[in-house]
Structure 1
Amino acid sequence: MPEGTPQRGPLKRIGLAEVYNPSMRPTLRPGDHLVVTYGAAVRAGDIVVLRHPFQHDLLIVKRAVERRPGGWWVRGDNPLVLNDSREFGAVPDDLVIARAWLRLRPPRGAGHSPVAAARWVFSAVRPVTGPLRPRSPAVRADAPAVSD
């Protein structure tokens, strides 16, 4: 981690991550790019990049739902894809490597009309952090609650 000044604290590294699968739909689509900050503090509701707990060479993008014993409970926004904590449990802090803060959606195809290009400009860049959206009770019953 780069060093910072005593007044500002450590400098955060910024990078790009690409989304490859539909586990975060509808928030993110395959082909979207994320601007991420490595080593940033994570809060419930943040979209994070993490190492898969069973395949450390595989990076995945999920939403940090809540702190549990052992780390972060992470979920994809797409309830039909189970490659998240419902499958592998809480993720240790050292496997959470970055927090996303901006989505960049590339344009689809070439030769769009000026109106289509203007729509893309206003929809291509969006912040991705924020509060969790409520899920239906059928989707929330994925794991027993953990008490402190």
Structure 2
Amino acid sequence: MRMRPGRAAATAGAFAAAAGLAAVAWRRGRLRAVAVTGESMLPALRAGDWLLVRVGAPVRAGDAVVARHPWNEDQLIVKRAVREDSGGWWLESDNQRAHGRQDSWDFDTVPHRLVLGPVVARYWPFDRIGLLTGRR
């Protein structure tokens, strides 16, 4: 299927505008790149996916988020924000059967200070590029 010339130009323009906004956010330290490892977020996210995280942005239930692991704050984890409790976020893996999966069922609620922000886009691999919606 071929895209009409006007639609192709509009798509290219929207992509260029989004890339420009992303570059500004990146330079201000608001975007962070994170690689997915493991199978705990299948089918939405796969090992080898590269994500952009909007650091400090509000998190909503249903968002894929990046957080520091509560037991090892040097390790980043990608999980689904399920619900906000008074002390932080309950984070779960989409794939509860993944080997080695760890989430709030193991370490309880993740404090707000350890949740970096929501995942906004996948930028690699090329055939899976796209904005990520807040819901599964």
TM range (shorter): 0.7 to 0.9
Candidates 27, 35, 43, aligned match of 2:44: 27
The reply on whether 1:100 has 2:119 as its aligned counterpart is: yes
Partner of 2:25: none
Map 1:12-51 → 2, pairs under 5 A: 13-51=30-68
Map 1:35-114 → 2, pairs under 5 A: 35-81=52-98, 82-106=101-125
Shift of 1:103: 1.4
Q: Residue deviations 1:56-85, cap 9 Å, x none?
A: 111100010101232100011102134000
User: Highest CA radius of gyration, 1 or 2?
Assistant: 1
Superposition CA RMSD, Å: 1.6
Higher strand share: 2
Shift of 1:128: 1.9
- TM-score calculated relative to the size of structure 1: 0.67
The reply on whether 1:130 has 2:122 as its aligned counterpart is: no
> Which structure 1 residue ranges, 5 or more long, are not aligned?
1-10, 108-119, 133-148
> Which structure 2 residue ranges, 5 or more long, are not aligned?
1-27
- TM-score calculated relative to the size of structure 2: 0.72
Identity across the alignment (%): 45
- How many residues align structurally? 107
Q: Which amino acid aligns with 2:115?
A: V
CA contact under 8 A between 2:60 and 2:134: conserved in structure 1? no
Higher helix share: 2
In structure 2, distance between residues paired with 1:102 and 1:74: 19
Q: Which amino acid aligns with 1:126?
A: G
Question: Taking structure 1 as reference, are residues 12 and 46 closer, same or farther at Cα in structure 2, changes over 3 Å only?
Answer: farther
Shift of 1:36: 1.2
Q: Residue deviations 1:13-49, cap 9 Å, x none?
A: 1121100111101000000010111111101011111
2:60 is paired with a residue of what secondary structure?
coil
